């Protein structure tokens, strides 16, 4: 079991950058799929980027490819999402999530199946 806490959200203008962080505590020795998801007002939650902690395989949604980078710092037990060239369509609450997994193929973008969630951090992008 892990506990997750996001930080780093805020307001930026279009074209700007933000780095989200997710502090991970609890059982960090098991292998997990960890990821970033977002939910815009009135829309369903969607996957943005995931990473397999057992091998560092990374996966991105089409909208995130080329703009966002997921990474992790084992020493700091922190998951990051570097977001560049943010656009108004990126306005959303971003969530960090995790699920136990021993295979990178489980690190899909679908939010269902992820057992552990943070409280979310808001990202606002103005045009």
3-state DSSP assignment of residue 88: helix
Q: Work out the average pLDDT over 98-108.
A: 92
Scored b (16 or more CB within 10 A) or e, 1-24 reads ebebebebbeebeeeeebebbbeb
According to DSSP, residue 8 is labeled -
The confidence band for 89, taking pLDDT boundaries of 50, 70 and 90, is: very high
> How confident is the model over 21-47, as pLDDT tens digits?
999 999 878 899 999 999 999 999 999
Task: Compute the distance between CA of residue 7 and CA of residue 96 in angstroms, rounded to an integer.
Answer: 10
Task: Compute the distance between CA of residue 124 and CA of residue 9 in angstroms, rounded to an integer.
Answer: 8
């Amino acid at each position: 079991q892990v506990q997750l806490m996001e930080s780093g959200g805020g307001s930026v203008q279009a074209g700007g950058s933000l780095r989200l962080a997710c502090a991970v505590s609890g059982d960090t020795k098991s292998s997990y799929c960890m990821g970033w998801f977002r939910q815009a007002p009135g829309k369903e939650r969607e996957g943005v980027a995931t990473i397999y902690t057992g091998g560092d395989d990374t996966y991105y949604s089409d909208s995130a490819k080329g703009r966002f980078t997921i990474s992790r710092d084992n020493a700091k037990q922190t998951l990051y999402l570097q977001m560049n060239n943010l656009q108004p369509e990126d306005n959303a609450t971003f969530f960090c999530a995790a699920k136990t997994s021993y295979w990178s193929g489980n690190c899909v973008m679908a939010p269902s199946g992820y057992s552990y969630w943070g409280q979310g951090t808001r990202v606002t992008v103005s045009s």
